């Protein structure tokens, strides 16, 4: 049995090279490959691409570079009908379009669906400022691609430790542990509105993982309670909701009761609806930025009030 396990594990490891394109953007050009200069209209987005292309500060720096120097690192794409599906370079394509470039350098490579998914994920996941939702769906896509590749090999469905091996492959080059990869993938089970709250750092990562185990119906009830009470669950509360749900006793009154429980070291809070703040500021801000902005505004306002009072007293 031990001998069979070792042979199977070794055989599984041998297909890794067939799965990966170097997670550096450009692997040495292979035989019969060349960089082509293609118009942006010929490049289509990768299907179900999990990474958002935001026109933020990081993107603006890229845009400035493209305007000044053009595209320095070729995009990677594969043929798809009469067009080419982007594997890596969605942000560079948008920057090129805005900059008015007529053609882009593209390394066209023949890749299977699985190889394309893995290359797409690996070329993006090393970027800074990746949202939890982006990691969640990217890791899930890569895991499914690895498992499909293994099933199509000669190992059938009896391969030993395939699930653990597949998760290990996903974890490679990410800096994440196998357990953390699995926890990120759990976030794909969240209601989209709750997942958005995780991206906005309104719900912490660990409570979000626990919430992901609730059925969608209970997640909607929790969302309703969170909006009504203007609060989010702690890890302990999320774990308690999960435990109650496992006993099939999680209804809205129960959720409300759990959410109203006093949190450890709870302090008095001033709650301001996020939508009202956005109406005043007329711009989006991360929760920490918003907190700092409000505190600074309060300090400045207090100084003005004190100065006014001093001026009145001096008259």
- What distance lies between CA 235 and its chain's CA centroid? 21
Whether residue 10 lies inside any domain: the answer is no
Same domain, 98 and 74: yes
Same domain, 252 and 280: no
pLDDT tens-digit series, residues 79-117: 999 999 999 899 999 999 999 999 999 999 988 888 888
Whether residue 290 lies inside any domain: the answer is yes
Residues of the chain where predicted confidence (pLDDT) is lower than 70:
1-33, 128, 152-163, 173, 263-271, 273-279, 282-288, 313, 315
Whether residue 264 lies inside any domain: the answer is no
Rounded alpha-carbon distances, angstroms, from residue 268 to 257, 274, 294: 19, 18, 17
Whether residue 238 lies inside any domain: the answer is yes
Q: What is the pLDDT of residue 234?
A: 94
Same domain, 102 and 70: yes
- What distance lies between CA 293 and its chain's CA centroid? 26
Q: What are phi and psi of 102, to 5 degrees?
A: -85, -30
One-character DSSP codes across the chain: -HHHHHHHHHHHHTTHHHH---SSS-PPPPTT--EEEE-GGGEEPPTT--S----SHHHHHHHHHHHHH---S-EEEEEETTEEEEEE-HHHHHHHHHHT-S-EEEEE----HHHHHHHHHHHHTTSSS--HHHHHHHHHHHHHHHHHHHHTTTTTT--TTHHHHHHHHHHTTTT--HHHHHHHHHGGGS-HHHHHHHHTTSS-HHHHHHHTTS-HHHHHHHHHHHHHHT----HHHHHHHHHHHHTT---HHHHHHHHTSPPTT--------HHHHHHHH-S---HHHHHHHHHHHHHHHHHHHHHHHHHHHH-
Q: Is the distance from CB of 274 to CB of 286 less than 8 angstroms?
A: no
pLDDT tens-digit series, residues 41-72: 999 999 888 888 888 888 899 999 999 999 99
Boundary-marking domain end, from 110, 143, 169? 110
Same domain, 238 and 280: no
Whether residue 63 lies inside any domain: the answer is yes
Distance from C-alpha of 160 to C-alpha of 93, rounded to nearest angstrom: 42
Q: What is the pLDDT of residue 17?
A: 41
Distance from C-alpha of 273 to C-alpha of 50, rounded to nearest angstrom: 29
- What distance lies between CA 118 and its chain's CA centroid? 15
- What distance lies between CA 174 and its chain's CA centroid? 13
Q: What is the pLDDT of residue 312?
A: 72
In this structure, what CATH number is given to the domain that contains residue 72? Answer: 3.90.1530.30
Q: What is the pLDDT of residue 58?
A: 84
Whether residue 13 lies inside any domain: the answer is no
Q: Are strands 83-88 and 104-108 parallel, antiparallel or unpaired?
A: unpaired
Distance from C-alpha of 257 to C-alpha of 114, rounded to nearest angstrom: 46
Domain that includes residue 236, residue range: 210-259
Whether residue 60 lies inside any domain: the answer is yes
Boundary-marking domain end, from 110, 139, 160? 110
Same domain, 255 and 285: no
Q: What is the pLDDT of residue 28?
A: 45
Check residue 230 and give left, alpha or beta (phi > 0: left; psi -120 to 50: alpha): left
Same domain, 57 and 99: yes
Whether residue 198 lies inside any domain: the answer is no
Instruction: Provide the number of structural domains found in the chain.
Output: 3
């Amino acid at each position: 049995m031990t001998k069979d396990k070792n042979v199977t594990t070794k055989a599984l490891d041998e297909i890794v090279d067939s799965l990966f394109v170097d997670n550096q953007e450009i692997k040495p050009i292979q035989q019969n490959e060349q960089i082509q200069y293609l118009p942006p209209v010929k490049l289509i987005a990768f299907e179900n691409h999990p990474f958002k292309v935001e026109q933020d500060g990081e993107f603006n720096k890229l845009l400035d570079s493209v305007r000044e120097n053009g595209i320095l690192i070729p995009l990677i794409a594969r043929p798809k009908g009469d067009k080419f599906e982007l594997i890596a370079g969605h942000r560079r394509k948008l920057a090129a379009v805005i900059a008015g470039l007529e053609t882009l350098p593209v390394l066209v490579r023949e890749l299977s669906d699985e190889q394309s998914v893995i290359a797409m994920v690996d070329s993006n996941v090393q970027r800074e400022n990746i949202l939890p939702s982006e990691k969640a769906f990217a890791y899930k896509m890569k895991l499914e691609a690895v498992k499909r590749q293994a099933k199509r090999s000669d190992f059938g469905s009896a391969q030993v430790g395939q699930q653990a091996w597949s998760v290990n492959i996903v974890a490679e080059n990410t800096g994440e542990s196998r357990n953390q990869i699995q926890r990120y993938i759990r976030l794909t089970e969240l209601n989209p509105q709750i997942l958005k709250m995780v991206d906005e750092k309104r719900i912490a990562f660990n409570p979000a993982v626990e919430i992901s185990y609730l059925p969608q119906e209970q997640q909607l009830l929790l969302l309703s309670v969170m909006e009504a009470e203007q609060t989010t669950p702690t890890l302990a509360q999320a774990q308690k909701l999960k435990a109650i749900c496992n006993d099939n006793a999680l209804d809205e009154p129960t959720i409300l009761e759990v959410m109203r429980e006093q949190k450890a070291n709870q302090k008095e809070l001033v709650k301001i609806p996020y939508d009202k703040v956005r109406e005043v500021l007329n711009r989006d801000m991360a929760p920490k930025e918003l907190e700092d902005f409000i505190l600074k505004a309060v300090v400045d306002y207090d100084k003005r009030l004190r100065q006014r009072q001093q001026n009145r007293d001096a008259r």
